[in-house]
Amino acid sequence: MSSSSPSFSPRELPLKPIPGDYGYSFFGAIKDRLDYFYNQGTDDFFKTRIQKHNSTIIKTNMPPGPFIAKNPKVIALLDAISFPLLFDTSKVEKKNVLDGTFFPSVSFTGGYRVCAYLDPSEPNHTKLKSFFLSILSSKHNIFIPLFTTCLRQLFIDIEEEMSSKNKAYFNSLSDSMSFNFVFRLFCDKDPLNTKIGSKGPSVLDKWLALQLAPLATLNLPKFFKYFEDFLLHTFPLPFFLVKSDYGKLYESFYEHSGSVLDKAESFGIKRDEACHNLVFLAGFNAYGGMKVFFPTMIKWVAQAGEKLHTQLAHEIRTVRKDGSVITFQALDKMPLTKSVVCEALRIEPPVPFQYGKAKEDIIVHSHDAAYQIKKGEMIFGYQPLATKDPKVFHNPHEFVGHRFVGEEGEKLLKYLYWSNDREMVNPTAENKQCPGKDLVVLLGMVMLVEFFLRYDTCTVETKKGLGLASSVTFTSLTKATST
């Protein structure tokens, strides 16, 4: 059984100085950057420091450091108990910290600081977040039918590629499907019939890569590490490399999202500002999230093996035995399917980092001790360690499909943090939780439903991809023997 809640009283914990150090100015940040990307890798970078200092709250530098970020120093929260401090916007400021210790040029977002970079205390945040929530609420009834339509074409494409090559690379096909869904959701138009045509995924990939390059690695052979480090992590990459393509993307959204932009004006938001925010919501938040999450989920489900596949197929086909369309009510009867989606979000969160700057002196607690964070210090959380905390989750590094099923399983949802808050919390205009939090879980469930209505089992090959996404290739698909 997984433990349900920490068994300590914060008042009983000793107050300790935060261990760790930042090294020599400039050189300490460079050393930590090289360790993070090349010498140790992300997980081992943190695990070795936890072991060295016997603490899950430590001082360290975070990439990119010089010369992109002026101050790379952070207080790292690396357990399930301390991590939620980053959700408390009464104590931490979220201004310009989406990407951590650096802030990409606003050229990438039309000259605007879009909602994701705003702190809730800023007036524009409430307007923009309310606008987003209003859009999603108005689209509620088309989520499932639209996504189902897009998925059916995805599976046709996968089967055609399997037929011709005996394997199918999932990522590129999934990316095309995701962009198609997102564009049609917000613009009610097939992107192939717009200025952007079939180039939407490639344009967004380039736009995302230029902004996030300081946080990425190309996974080149290690003897290229100094070259890559200089190329990606020393100076920000310029917007002009994607300016023309971004212009076409923006124009496509502007031309075909008229009703959405009309709604924005009712919130007091200018149309061009609303459209740049819409492109960011669709491209960075939605498409970017799906680009990471869908391959990740398929990887873990496929590798879980036939026993889980049989259980999922039975649950899904039992609920769908009358051949009816998928509904919210039907999904509510699929606890294992939902648990599998949540487990994928737990074991490999689509966004692994959270940042915030302390608004005041704060006392933060780990399982074992209390520490003081000073006003103005940058706080960082590495989510994959928080959601694999062994003092909260039993067998935390194992993918357990039924982990969140039943009363005890549901209690663990308060330690599922993937959406920039606890899974049990809902997004509001006043918090920084992902506005599409419920939509992500819904789409993950619908993808599994459609998959296991068609197939009994599958096998995949995986490897580390560029950025955060796993590279997933189907090597076999077994058609459903029963429905």
Q: Residues marked as binding?
A: 434
Closest residue by Cα to residue 302 from 122, 110, 481, 460: 460
Closest residue by Cα to residue 278 from 290, 265, 291: 265
Residue 174 in 3-state DSSP?
A: helix
Strand partners, 381: 77, 354
d(CA 320, CA 316): 6
- CB distance 116 to 284 below 8 Å: yes
Closest residue by Cα to residue 23 from 58, 54, 59: 59
d(CA 442, CA 469): 20
For residue 464, give both structure tokens.
Answer: 């580390």
Amino acid, single-letter form, for residue 224: F
Mark the binding-site residues for heme, compressed into ranges: 434
Neighbours of 165 (CB within 10 A): 10
For residue 61, give both structure tokens.
Answer: 């530098």
d(CA 442, CA 328): 9
Amino acid, single-letter form, for residue 162: M
Phi and psi at residue 242, to the nearest 5°: -130, 10
d(CA 321, CA 207): 44
Q: Which helix (H) or strand (E) holds 252?
A: helix 243-256
Closest residue by Cα to residue 261 from 243, 287, 244, 281: 281
Q: Is the preceding peptide bond at 67 cis, omega within 30 degrees of 0?
A: yes
d(CA 282, CA 186): 8
Residues 6+ apart with CB under 8 A from 443: 143, 147, 290
Token pair 């808050």 is found at 421
